[in-house]
Amino acid sequence: MKKLISLFKKDVLLGIKDVFILLELGFAVVIMLLLLFVFPKDIERDAMVYIHDETGLVMDIVERFTEEADMEMEFDEFVDSREEIIEGMSKNRNAMGVIISFGDEEDATLYKTEMLVQPYTTDAMMKFVEIEMEDMLSMLHPPFGTYPLEVYNSVSITSLQEGLRDEIPFNKRMLPVIILMMVGIIGMFAMVSLIGQERSEATIRAFRVTPSGITGFLASKNLMLLAVSTVTFSILYIPVMGTVAGYLPALLITMLTVIFGSAIGTFLGSFFEDPMASMGYVVLLMMLLSLPAISLFAPTFSPAWVRFIPTYHTLFGLDAAMFPDNNSHIIWNGALILAAIDVVLATLAGWVFLNRIRKEG
Amino acid sequence: MIEVKNLKHSYEKNDDFAVDGISFDIKKGEIFGFLGPSGAGKSTTQGILSGLLEKQEGHIVIDGEERKGYPNKTFFNKIGVGFERPNVYKKLSALDNLKFHASLYDGETEDPMTVLEWVGLQDEAKKKAGAFSKGMMQRIGFARSMINKPEIWFLDEPTMGLDPTTANSIKGIIRKKQKEGTTIFLTTHNMFVADELCDRVAFIVDGKIAAMDSPKNLKLKYGQPVVTVEYMDGNKLVAKTFSMAEKDKGELTKFIADKDVKTIHSGEPTLEEIFIKLTGRGLE
């Protein structure tokens, strides 16, 4: 452990002195600022609410109230069915829906309220509409007394799960791809560069005649990349998504992708002493590993072969973690597949690396 | 301390041997020099002994332990290796380079600052190694190779690229370590370094050992001592060299008696001359 800590410290120090770490973190801050202030974000602020009132009472009350007050309810729109709400919400990414029905057929004085929201609607917005609905229900007091408490607790919330993904704000929608490229794949670049430096300065030869193994040598570089990636990921993720919305599952998926990228980098580093000589392969691999992004943006493009590219699981895993809609199985399936690939690939890459450098003496 | 028998190594694992059946042994506390031109098999032999290369054929016993394939962790705790190239992290300071390397060993290590003092870099300890001259980097590499107080020290061209003063101080450190009991395997193509430092040397050419003995014995065995006489020939000072062989001694005596001799110098052949005589090749 002492040796691993020492190797880790050395790699961090070299990473800082090589400006790699500072560049990575600085670039993450720039991208985060772009996502927050240049790309569209808080588009739910002017949310519209479709109301389907099966009771007719709410509509009467609202109409009477607005006539008496000589004002217009410009934020709500009454529709005739649940289907119309869903259709309206499909067209309007800001919209939400409310269905008001009789709660009990035998006692028509009780009302039931169901709320339909977009998968990405924030908790704050849902709470706001919930309170609005409670206020509206409170206007429907019977001529005497008040309704039982159950009336006010009857608001239920249903999140629409299908067909609305393309309505997620652009800055959030872009985040999985940005994380993949800036954090996940960067492991490949960094590993090629770190190993190349050790080989070109022949420091790896000096290391090999010490009682510290190559496993520790590669592990410390992976640890350094994971540490830098965690910070980079957090810089990108927290300001855009917050810490609650899938932070930990998304971090897990990202870390597994960093290990995948670094294993590929170890392979390349085994064969190329000069990192620049491997750049052609790095770019080619980057293009290949970015292909699943097409499926993320255009769900109709999802051929079976794309699913064999490990980053497919990164992108869809991140997407599922960031925009949860009862799809946690996508996160965990993706994490399991990536973990399995990591175990095989990292072991193989370590073995190839050891044999290559041993052959070179 | 080190026994090598019929050692062979082929990089392509075929009959093209870089080291071709060499045998030698090194006693504890001895400085053993491997002398040969570039590509002769010096570095390959050092690579196998130090554990960088796999032992393919032959027998190696180091400190009583028979080598099989690659050595274990215990072996690496005992050895130090100085390479021809400095092998230092150029972005780290001289001190950080040594501190890092010291942390990789299980046993007691030298104080990095003390080792830097030995090689005359104490004032540059906190400077980035990348800003150093080649000779200074070479000294960090040399310092690094002894940071773990090695029992067996492999040195490849330890004085190459150094000015005479620094080279002398490096040679002084090597002698000091020998006195402390360190066994030293030194590969070089510098005959003066080998002559000055080594208890015994082996000449290696094309992967084979051509001769092996102490520098003194090699010179006595294969060289011929000579005497150079300077005398006046008219108004000119002229030099003439005589063999010290028994049969030529009479000629020298007669010459001294007949001529106006100004100086007489005895001389012995250099290791390089012996090397060329034995192998028909130079050391460069």
pLDDT (tens digit, 9 = 90+) per residue, A263-322? 999 999 888 878 788 888 888 888 888 888 887 776 556 677 888 899 999 988 988 888
Give the lowest-confidence range in A121-135, B198-212, B229-243: A121-135
pLDDT at position A76: 58
Asked if residue B150 and residue B256 are part of one domain, the reply reads no
Question: Above pLDDT 90, what percent of chain A?
Answer: 17
Asked if residue B122 and residue B41 are part of one domain, the reply reads yes
The answer to whether residue B85 neighbours chain A at the CB level (below 8 Å) is yes
User: DSSP 3-state helix, strand, coil percentages of chain B (rounded to 5)?
Assistant: 35, 30, 35
Q: For residue A207, which residues of chain B lie inside 8 Å, CB to CB? A: 104
A170-179 and A214-241 helices, crossing angle to 10°: 180
Residue A88 pairs in a beta bridge with none
Asked if residue B252 and residue B172 are part of one domain, the reply reads no
Q: For residue B53, which residues of chain A lie inside 8 Å, CB to CB? A: 358, 361
Looking at domain A43-166, which of 3.40.50.150, 3.40.1710.10, 3.40.640.10, 3.30.300.30 is its CATH number?
A: 3.40.1710.10
For A156, the enclosing helix (H) or strand (E) is strand A155-159
pLDDT at position B147: 94
Asked if residue B228 and residue B190 are part of one domain, the reply reads no
Asked whether residue B272 is assigned to any structural domain, the reply reads: no
pLDDT (tens digit, 9 = 90+) per residue, B88-106? 998 899 999 999 999 999 9
User: How big is the CA angle at B188 (ends B203 and B25), to the nearest 5 degrees?
Assistant: 50
**Structural domain spans, chain A:** 2-40+169-360, 43-166
Asked whether residue B275 is assigned to any structural domain, the reply reads: no
Asked if residue B146 and residue B27 are part of one domain, the reply reads yes
A 183-202 residues with CB < 8 A to B = 201-202
Question: Above pLDDT 70, what percent of chain B?
Answer: 99
Low-confidence ranges of chain A (pLDDT < 50): 42-46, 71, 73-75, 143-145, 151-152, 159-166
B110 in Cβ contact with A217 (< 8 Å): no
Choosing from B180, B214, B248, the residue where a domain stops is B214
Q: How many separate domains does chain B show?
A: 2
Cα(B196)–Cα(B191) distance, rounded to whole angstroms?
8
Are A209 and B81 a contacting pair at CB < 8 A?
Answer: yes
Cα(B66)–Cα(A1) distance, rounded to whole angstroms?
29
Mean pLDDT of chain B: 88
Asked if residue B149 and residue B99 are part of one domain, the reply reads yes
Cα(A346)–Cα(A339) distance, rounded to whole angstroms?
10
Range of the domain at B210: 2-214
Q: For residue B76, which residues of chain A lie inside 8 Å, CB to CB? A: 209-211
Ranges assigned E (strand) in chain B: 2-9, 19-26, 31-35, 57-62, 65-66, 79-82, 152-156, 183-188, 200-205, 208-213, 226-233, 236-243, 260-267
pLDDT at position A120: 60
Q: What SS3 class is residue B110?
A: coil
pLDDT at position B283: 61
Asked if residue B152 and residue B119 are part of one domain, the reply reads yes
pLDDT at position B273: 81
The answer to whether residue A207 neighbours chain B at the CB level (below 8 Å) is yes
Q: Name the residue facing A210 among B70, B76, B141 (closest C-beta).
A: B76
The pair of structure tokens assigned to B122 is 């104490």
Residue in this structure with the two tokens 């259709």, named with its chain if needed: A87
Residue in this structure with the two tokens 């002492």, named with its chain if needed: A2
pLDDT at position A47: 54
Residue B35: CATH number of its domain: 3.40.50.300
Nearest CA in chain A to B10: A359
pLDDT (tens digit, 9 = 90+) per residue, B55-91? 999 999 998 889 888 888 889 999 999 988 888 998 8
B60 in Cβ contact with B228 (< 8 Å): no
B200 in Cβ contact with B30 (< 8 Å): yes
Cα(A353)–Cα(A341) distance, rounded to whole angstroms?
18
Asked if residue B210 and residue B246 are part of one domain, the reply reads no
How far A30 CA sits from the closest chain B CA (Å)?
27
pLDDT at position A167: 56
A171 in Cβ contact with A131 (< 8 Å): no
pLDDT (tens digit, 9 = 90+) per residue, B132-190? 888 888 899 999 999 999 999 999 988 887 888 888 889 999 999 999 999 999 998 88
Asked if residue B205 and residue B244 are part of one domain, the reply reads no
Asked if residue B234 and residue B153 are part of one domain, the reply reads no
pLDDT at position A69: 53
Whether the full predicted model's pTM is greater than 0.80, yes or no, is no
Asked whether residue B276 is assigned to any structural domain, the reply reads: no
pLDDT at position A51: 81
Q: What SS3 class is residue B218?
A: helix
Exposed/middle/buried for A77, CB within 10 Å: 0-12, 13-18, 19+? middle
pLDDT (tens digit, 9 = 90+) per residue, B250-267? 888 888 888 888 898 887
In chain B, which ranges are continuous DSSP H helix? Answer: 42-50, 73-78, 94-102, 112-118, 134-145, 164-179, 191-197, 215-222, 249-258, 271-279
Question: Above pLDDT 90, what percent of chain B?
Answer: 43
Q: What are phi and psi of A246, to 5 degrees?
A: 70, 20
Q: What SS3 class is residue B44?
A: helix
pLDDT at position A322: 83
Q: Which residue from A51, A99, A55, A100 is spatially nearest to A78, judged by alpha carbons?
A: A51
pLDDT at position A241: 81
Asked if residue B187 and residue B251 are part of one domain, the reply reads no
A2-17 and B94-102 helices, crossing angle to 10°: 160
Query: Which residues, at least 6 apart from B281, have a Cβ–Cβ distance to it below 8 Å?
Result: B37, B205, B275
Asked whether residue B278 is assigned to any structural domain, the reply reads: no
Asked if residue B239 and residue B202 are part of one domain, the reply reads no
Confidence of residue B211 (pLDDT cuts 50, 70, 90): confident
Are A202 and B83 a contacting pair at CB < 8 A?
Answer: yes
Confidence of residue B49 (pLDDT cuts 50, 70, 90): very high
Question: What mean pLDDT is predicted for residues B213-240?
Answer: 86
Q: What is the DSSP letter of B122?
A: G
pLDDT at position A143: 44
Q: Which residue from B162, B183, B165 is spatially nearest to B174, judged by alpha carbons?
A: B183
Are B92 and A14 a contacting pair at CB < 8 A?
Answer: yes
Are A206 and B83 a contacting pair at CB < 8 A?
Answer: yes
